[in-house]
Amino acid sequence: MIRIGDAPRVRRLLIGTALTLTALFLLLPLVAIFAQALMSGIDVYWQNLSSVYTLSAIGLTLLVAAITVPVNLVFGVFLAWLVTRFDFPGRRLLQTLIDIPFAVSPVVAGLVYLLLYGRNGWLGGWLDAHDIQIMFAWPGIVLVTLFVTCPFVARELIPLMQTQGSREEEAAVTLGASGWTIFRRVTLPNIRHALLYGVILTNARAVGEFGAVSVVAGAIRGQTNTLPLQVEQLYQDYNTVGAFTSASLLALLALLTLAAKAALEWRAARRETAT
């Protein structure tokens, strides 16, 4: 059988193009980030990294991820379980609603939260009266990040749980297992790879989110700047090296995430071939 692209010349051309484009569009920018960050030497890099503002941005970013990831992990599993294991009126609607954060631009999401919780917002007056500040403080940042990242886990789990069906859980219940035992010993082990993958994606987005966060954060240096906001602000201040230093941290996180994902996929593939 002759396939398109079987001729050696065509094949070399196609592979060459793909590799060149990958290098140009994906690899080069990544290298550029680290090159720029280290332009003035390792000492300056280290100085930038250990500045109070950068450290605070790192801290806030980690805090946001530390809250967002577990909350959305639980929420995502709950949602996927609900949608795939029960039939109730509004199930399809719920499945569509899950995708809203994907469909809406993050900036719009940020604005909506501002409208709701801001000083002149619907709930803002009440919050203000009770001296609770959500906007322009870390709770607001966490809220919008939760919104933006909430579909990731559920989206990973729903197709998998749909194809797996509920037969194993039914078998477990006929054997007298309680709901929690079934979840812990039957459901969870079957979905753990997809779940981890969902968590990795959630984490990546929580750390890297810019649009929604920039609307509600208010850009108070050293207080409400996450790493992406910090990058932008430093760049606006013509502190290119500083901006790229923070950017290199984000890039590093991205690389770690990718490595974790690859490791998971590799392990899953090895399990497949083992059985």
Q: Does 96 bind other proteins (CB under 8 A)?
A: no
Using CA atoms, how far apart are residues 186 and 95, in angstroms rounded to an integer? 24
User: Would you tell me the crossing angle of helices 138-149 and 188-208 to the nearest 10 degrees?
Assistant: 130
Region near other proteins per CB under 8 A, out of 9-17, 21-29, 137-145, 179-187:
179-187
Instruction: Figure out which of the listed residues 20, 22, 162, 178 binds other proteins, where binding follows CB under 8 A.
Output: 178
CB of 124 to other proteins, least distance (A): 46
Per-residue contact string for residues 138-177; x = within reach of other proteins by CB under 8 A: -----------------------------xx-xxxxxxxx
Q: To 5 degrees, how large is the angle CA 260–CA 261–CA 264?
A: 85
For 6, the token pair is 């079987």
Burial of 232 (0-12, 13-18, 19+ CB in 10 A): middle
Residue 11 or 185 with smaller CB distance to other proteins: 185
Residue 128 or 168 with smaller CB distance to other proteins: 168
Q: Are 210 and 228 in contact (CB under 8 A)?
A: yes
CB of 165 to other proteins, least distance (A): 9
CB of 99 to other proteins, least distance (A): 27
Residue 44 or 173 with smaller CB distance to other proteins: 173
Distance of CA 41 to the CA centre of its chain: 32
User: Which residues from 184-243 bind other proteins, rule CB under 8 A?
Assistant: 185-186, 189-190
CB of 171 to other proteins, least distance (A): 4
Total of chain residues touching other proteins, rule CB under 8 A: 17
CB of 89 to other proteins, least distance (A): 12
Q: Are 37 and 248 in contact (CB under 8 A)?
A: yes
Residues that bind other proteins (CB under 8 A): 167-168, 170-178, 181, 185-186, 189-190, 275
